[in-house]
């Protein structure tokens, strides 16, 4: 049995064509069924639906053999115990620094003062500002980061930006690009070794579907 961990929404939708290339069609849609374990047309493949940030954890401990996780999530997780052989080039977005419109970000950064940064991605934010030589106080938030600069909780935020619509609606501007994000196929290390005959064809099918 091969278990694939996916998160609802964009990643699930954009993984469907890749699964189809591997001959796997889910029996139900997660949005409508509310089931957390979803069967497929293949007896030996099932899907589990977990939170995006939990996908690497499920795969690391072998609760799932394969998974699809954003690079943002993988960097925060650290990647221990995982193989990440493919960039699936889906669920693309950018990790950016954003501030309230009118805030003098370049000035604040050059001054040498400590910057208050609200983010869900503390590891990447810490590394980004350390590389710039800027001291920051990180405030870990789990959602609605855009609010933090507006209510004076933080000077800047580090967040994923895909269309920029949310930033604009909240009078924020992106001031710095940290990295491009897309989703990776991740594989449990022991699973690849023990179930190579089942897993390798699936990796090859995914690779074929994205043109690698």
CA–CA separation, 125 vs 209, rounded Å?
Answer: 33
Least distance in Å: CB of 18 to another protein?
15
CA–CA separation, 188 vs 175, rounded Å?
Answer: 37
**Taking CB under 8 A as the rule, which mask of x and - marks residues 87-126 in contact with another protein?**
x---------------------------------------
Least distance in Å: CB of 88 to another protein?
10
Q: Which of residues 62, 92, 174, 210 is near another protein by CB under 8 A?
A: 62
* Number of chain positions touching another protein (CB under 8 A): 21
Residue 185, classed as helix, strand or coil, is strand
How many CA atoms, within 13 angstroms, populate the side-chain half-sphere of residue 88?
29
Q: Which of residues 61, 114, 123, 168 is near another protein by CB under 8 A?
A: 61
* 111 CB-contact burial (10 Å; exposed 0-12 / middle 13-18 / buried 19+): exposed
- Sheet containing 172-181: order of strands: 136-140, 115-119, 156-161, 93-100, 172-181
7 binds another protein (CB under 8 A): no
Least distance in Å: CB of 160 to another protein?
18
50 binds another protein (CB under 8 A): no
CA–CA separation, 160 vs 48, rounded Å?
Answer: 25
196 binds another protein (CB under 8 A): yes
Q: What Å distances lie between residue 57 and 28, 86, 89, CA to CA? A: 24, 18, 21
Question: 175-194: which residues touch another protein (CB under 8 A)?
Answer: 184, 187-190, 193-194
| Residues binding another protein (CB under 8 A) | 57, 60-62, 79-87, 184, 187-190, 193-194, 196
């Amino acid at each position: 049995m091969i278990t694939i961990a996916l998160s609802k929404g964009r990643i699930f939708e954009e993984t469907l064509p890749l699964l189809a290339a591997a001959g796997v069609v889910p029996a139900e849609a997660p949005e409508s069924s509310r089931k957390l374990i979803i069967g497929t047309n293949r007896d030996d493949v099932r899907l589990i639906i977990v939170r995006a940030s939990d996908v690497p954890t499920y795969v690391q401990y072998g609760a799932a053999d394969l998974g699809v996780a954003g690079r943002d999530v993988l960097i925060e997780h650290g990647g221990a115990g995982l193989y990440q052989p493919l960039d699936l080039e889906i669920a693309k977005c950018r990790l950016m620094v954003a501030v309230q419109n009118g805030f003098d970000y370049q000035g604040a950064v050059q001054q040498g003062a400590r910057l208050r940064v609200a983010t869900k991605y503390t590891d990447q934010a810490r590394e980004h500002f350390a590389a710039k030589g800027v001291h920051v106080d990180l405030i870990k938030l789990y959602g609605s980061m855009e609010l933090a600069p507006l209510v004076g909780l933080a000077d800047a935020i580090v967040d994923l930006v895909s269309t920029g619509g949310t930033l604009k609606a909240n009078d924020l501007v992106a001031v710095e690009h940290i990295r491009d994000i897309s989703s990776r196929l991740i594989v449990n290390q022991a699973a690849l070794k023990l179930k190579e005959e089942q897993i390798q064809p699936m990796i090859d099918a995914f690779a074929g579907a994205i043109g690698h």
